[in-house]
Chain A
Amino acid sequence: MSRIGVFVCHCGLNIAKTIRVSELAQFASTLPDVVVAKDYKFMCSTPGQEMIASDIKEHKLDRIIVAACSPLMHEQTFRKVIENAGLNKYLVTIVNIREQVSWVTHDVEEGTSKAKALLNGAVYRARLLAPLTSRFIDVSPDVMVIGGGIAGIQAALELANTGKKVYLVEKNSTIGGHMAQFDKTFPTLDCSACILTPKMDAVLQHKNITMMTYCEVTEVKGYVGNFDITVKQKARYVDHDKCNACLACTEKCPGKGVSEWDEGLVKRKAIYIPFPQAVPQKPVIDRDACTFFIKGKCRLCEKVCEQKAIDFEQQDTFSTVKVGAVIVATGYDLMNTKPLVQYGYGKYPGVYSALEVERLFNSAGPTSGKVTLRDGKEPQAIAILHCIGSRDKNNYEHCSRVCCMYSLKFAHLFKEKTSADVYQFYIDMRAPGKGYEEFYNRIIEEDVKFIRGKGARVAESADEPGRMIVEAEDTITGKFIKLPVDMVVLSPAMIPRSDSKDIARLFNLSTDKYGFFMERHPKLAPLSTMSEGIFIAGVCQSPKDIPDTVAQANGAAAEALTIVVKDKMELEATTAMVNPASCCACQNCIRVCPYGAPFFNEQKGVSEINEALCKGCGLCASVCPASAIIARHFTNDQVLAEIEGLMEF
């Protein structure tokens, strides 16, 4: 006989408006073994928690059921409550009557009767629960940060400053990310390089940071506290230990590659550093552009290199590092706007994508910071088109969040650097950050023309060759505007990196439909993921600006620290065990387990389970033909009892 206490939460009106909570508590008190049943406004609040604790003592309760929000929300909270009250923490059962009942129906009758059924199932299950003992494992003290943009740089520095060792993995040959491509940042118009390059240098100098540029993660094994991560060092064809960064090779190289850094606006050498302030300052060879790799002869770089650092035989190498936690900060790409034929990107040379324009403004860019068109002329009229592919059911439904602001920044820089007329075609102006509205006001006063209407089409001008006509409705006057311009700037949707699906698969992250990584909880755990020990920061989670990215990076660093700061950490006790009396030695469990937790004890002739490796999925329990494997906390009896309880009402 167990002694069960049932606690029904109103969650303000979230639950109480569709479920008759006092009736539910009343119903609970009629169920077998239930000693006490109560309802209260907010069970998770301090008085609610105290009520549970005091009832445990007063009524000698040994099982607790909380009917409230999803277990994914507050199971841990209530486990702590009963643990503090002296009960084994696995003896609490959460009944999800908010996310899966009161929020998905308006019908009070239906809601209440479904809640009753769920509660009944929980009572049946609770009676069969057993106390479990937690396991403790050693924790590796190091952290890996994936992505060397501003988010990854910030997180790595914060962690390294606490004394933790950090591996910073970056797939390009330099760290810096998109921020290093910008000229100015909104709304303060700080020079991007001035605030970023000192941080890049700090990473290079930091004794606790191992920078792994031109690297990609290829395999992830292990679990929170003990990840074994394999990293591929892509062949650079330059031995960075020998190279002294004299860059003589880059001057002599006859090869021509497309400069990713300048968004393809210009060519770069085949042996190159992406930009003058790159970190590290040591070059790599682009195989696809290298004359030697294409034609089999050249080797000019090798001839000029006094350090003998050029190595055409170099191969990709693999190394494995052990870390306790991981921060994923892989950033974004801009959507390819070519398929949106109405905007003429790729067809008319005067149509630019946002990042290309960033490079035009940049004094280290292809035009040395002068705003000129591809033919070298200065534009006379410029249209900036917002929401290209964003806020668009046909492409990406989300708002990319930064485009309004950088479009304002563009307008300002165009005004500063040219005498052109500048027009913004927008749907809604979104300027909700600190100092953003003020920046918007400033740009209005700079005589930028705002046209409230989404750009509908960019066409060739029939009268003036080389010019374009932007067609849109000015929705304020209802007039159809045909605006002759010589430059069109598209502000395309920000989307996850093209390889974010691979990262998601490697680290077991969930993604939304566009590939942005899903956080564990949208409000209360925005940096954690469903995979313990893996955290996310920056635009790989959703579009955001630099201040928010930096704040997230700091947060993720703190989250990672909570894991690696301890020597040992507690793991869920919900592992599997083998009842040796029933084991038939078929070894099915050993064959199916993804973690290699079960092994065969030759001496006893039965399977056993290494609990340190077991993650508690329960797969072995269901393949065991003799039902010898017990999946703790999800035993056959417990699940069947719950089903019975659910089907009774």
Chain B
Amino acid sequence: MEFEPKILGIACNWCTYTGADLAGTTRLQYPQNLRVVRVMCSSRINPSFIFRAFQLGADGVLVGGCHPGDCHYNTGNLYARRRLAVTRKILEFAGIEPGRFRVEWISASEGNKFAEVVTEFTEQVKTLGPQTKFKIEQQPSLEKI
């Protein structure tokens, strides 16, 4: 059977999440490997979210925010941009292929871009195969939380 990757998406409420909704309203089709977590701003994203996702077996992580300069909170995504750049370096250092992590600026009107990015990224992660470097086989049980 073909490898179907699990991809975590983290999208800001105002641009990328709305853009993803627009992709839906215009009925654009894209692969269903992506599961999106909504946060208010890309600046809310703590790098630990991304590391944890890889630990939990994510094969790829896609982060989406407003275009730089268009942040709903004025400057949030500028901080996010720097933080995510460092996150990428750490991931590379830790041996995660750079192709498994992607940051995209997708505005609320760019439903087609959202669909294109998801399609492209899913394909890319597929060719990289399952992510095993970070994955912890024995997951802590839910009751621990």
**A–B: direct contact at CB < 8 Å:** yes
List A residues at the B interface (Cβ < 8 Å): 32, 70-72, 96, 98-101, 103-107, 110-111, 113-114, 117-118, 121, 124, 127-128, 505, 508, 510-513, 518, 522, 530-531, 574, 592, 594-595, 615-619, 621-623, 631, 634, 636-637, 639-644, 646-648
Q: Which residues of B contact A621 (CB under 8 A)?
A: 44, 46
A104 and B24 contact, Cβ closer than 8 Å, known pairs A622-B46, A643-B37: yes
A105 and B76 contact, Cβ closer than 8 Å, known pairs A32-B142, A622-B44: no
Quick check: A619 and B37 within 8 Å, CB to CB?
Answer: no
Q: List 9 A-B contacts (CB under 8 A).
A: A72-B18, A99-B24, A103-B27, A104-B32, A594-B73, A631-B40, A640-B49, A640-B52, A646-B8
Assembled-state Cα–Cα distance A201/B83 (Å): 55
Quick check: A530 and B30 within 8 Å, CB to CB?
Answer: no
A646 and B21 contact, Cβ closer than 8 Å, known pairs A617-B44, A619-B43: no
Assembled-state Cα–Cα distance A106/B76 (Å): 36
Q: Which residues of B contact A592 (CB under 8 A)?
A: 75, 79
Q: Which residues of B contact A104 (CB under 8 A)?
A: 23-24, 27-30, 32, 115
Quick check: B74 and A594 within 8 Å, CB to CB?
Answer: yes
If A72-B13, A617-B44, A647-B53 are given as contacts, then 18 extra A-B residue pairs at C-beta distance below 8 Å, sorted by A number, are A70-B24, A72-B17, A100-B24, A104-B24, A104-B27, A505-B70, A510-B15, A617-B40, A617-B41, A619-B79, A621-B44, A622-B45, A622-B83, A634-B44, A639-B39, A643-B56, A647-B35, A647-B58
List B residues at the A interface (Cβ < 8 Å): 6, 8, 13-15, 17-18, 20-21, 23-25, 27-30, 32, 35-41, 43-46, 48-49, 52-53, 56-58, 69-70, 72-76, 79, 83, 107-109, 115, 139, 142, 145
Q: Which residues of B contact A511 (CB under 8 A)?
A: 109
Q: Which residues of A contact B56 (CB under 8 A)?
A: 643-644, 647-648
Taking CB as reference atom, which chain A residue is nearest B110?
A: A513
Most chain B Cβ neighbours within 10 Å, of A508, A592, A622, A634: A622
Assembled-state Cα–Cα distance A21/B79 (Å): 40
Quick check: A574 and B52 within 8 Å, CB to CB?
Answer: no
Assembled-state Cα–Cα distance A639/B15 (Å): 19
CB < 8 Å: which of A99, A121, A636 contacts B37? A121
A618 and B44 contact, Cβ closer than 8 Å, known pairs A98-B24, A100-B20, A594-B74: yes
Assembled-state Cα–Cα distance A531/B18 (Å): 13
Quick check: A114 and B32 within 8 Å, CB to CB?
Answer: yes
Q: Which residues of A contact B79 (CB under 8 A)?
A: 592, 619, 623
State the Cβ distance, A79 to closest chain B Cβ, in Å: 15
State the Cβ distance, B139 to closest chain A Cβ, in Å: 8
Quick check: A594 and B145 within 8 Å, CB to CB?
Answer: no
Q: Which residues of A contact B23 (CB under 8 A)?
A: 99, 104
Taking CB as reference atom, which chain B residue is nearest A117?
A: B35
Assembled-state Cα–Cα distance A103/B145 (Å): 34
- Nearest 8 interchain pairs by C-beta: A618-B44, A99-B24, A619-B43, A103-B24, A617-B41, A647-B56, A617-B73, A110-B32
State the Cβ distance, B2 to closest chain A Cβ, in Å: 12
A100 and B36 contact, Cβ closer than 8 Å, known pairs A124-B142, A643-B52: yes
State the Cβ distance, B141 to closest chain A Cβ, in Å: 10
Q: Which residues of B contact A510 (CB under 8 A)?
A: 14-15, 18, 70, 107-109
Assembled-state Cα–Cα distance A511/B39 (Å): 21
Taking CB as reference atom, which chain B residue is nearest A127?
A: B145
Taking CB as reference atom, which chain A residue is nearest B115?
A: A104
Assembled-state Cα–Cα distance A644/B58 (Å): 10
A618 and B32 contact, Cβ closer than 8 Å, known pairs A100-B20, A623-B79, A637-B145: no
Quick check: B8 and A643 within 8 Å, CB to CB?
Answer: yes
State the Cβ distance, A114 to closest chain B Cβ, in Å: 4
Assembled-state Cα–Cα distance A623/B145 (Å): 24
Taking CB as reference atom, which chain A residue is nearest B24?
A: A99
Quick check: A619 and B145 within 8 Å, CB to CB?
Answer: no
Quick check: B43 and A618 within 8 Å, CB to CB?
Answer: yes
Assembled-state Cα–Cα distance A148/B108 (Å): 28
A71 and B38 contact, Cβ closer than 8 Å, known pairs A99-B24, A104-B29: yes
Quick check: A631 and B18 within 8 Å, CB to CB?
Answer: no
Quick check: B108 and A618 within 8 Å, CB to CB?
Answer: no
